[in-house]
Amino acid sequence: MDNLQTILAMAALAQPTRLDTFKLLVNREPEGVPAGELARLLDVPQNTMSAHLAILSRAGLIAGERQSRSIIYRADLDGFRAVIAFLLKDCCGGRADLCQPLIDELVPCCPPKVPADGRHHLP
């Protein structure tokens, strides 16, 4: 990861439709979402969505895989992790204690879901 790749990723996410697209794809991991369904879900014309998907893909934030007549898009979580790691690598001039509140907020990023009955069930 370098400055240019990080700038591309940040610029790609600095647009409402692309940010919504990326968040939706993260939420739909690992299944992914077909391009046409993304356009429908976000109420964006398909040609406009194609342009947004191309920008996110070039930025290393998503990847598309052809399946028959569709392209299934998925969030590239490794690419996103690389951007975040690059931004935090020299966090606060090497003073990790200054970044600890941010780290604490991010971990765990996905707390386990509690069923409606409020009880945790073992698999």
Structure tokens at 70: 């569709």
Domain that holds residue 65: 1-109
Say what the pLDDT of residue 117 is: 57
Structure tokens at 66: 């052809």
Q: In what order do the strands lie in the sheet with 33-34?
A: 33-34, 70-75, 62-67
Query: Angle formed by the axes of helices 46-58 and 16-27, to 10°?
Result: 80
In a domain? residue 116: no
Number of domains, the chain: 1
Say what the pLDDT of residue 46 is: 95
What averages of pLDDT result for each successive group of 10 residues across the chain (123 residues)?
93 98 96 97 97 97 95 96 85 75 74 55 44
Query: Residue type for 54, please?
Result: A
Taking a C-beta distance cutoff of 8 angstroms, is the pair 9, 61 a contact?
Answer: yes
Q: What CATH number has the domain bearing residue 66? A: 1.10.10.10
Assign 77 to helix, strand or coil: helix
In a domain? residue 31: yes
Cα–Cα distance between 38 and 53 in angstroms, integer?
Answer: 10
Helix boundaries (H) for the chain? 3-13, 16-27, 35-41, 46-58, 77-88, 96-106
The residue written with tokens 């690598």 in the block is 89
Say what the pLDDT of residue 62 is: 98
Structure tokens at 12: 């790609």
In a domain? residue 123: no
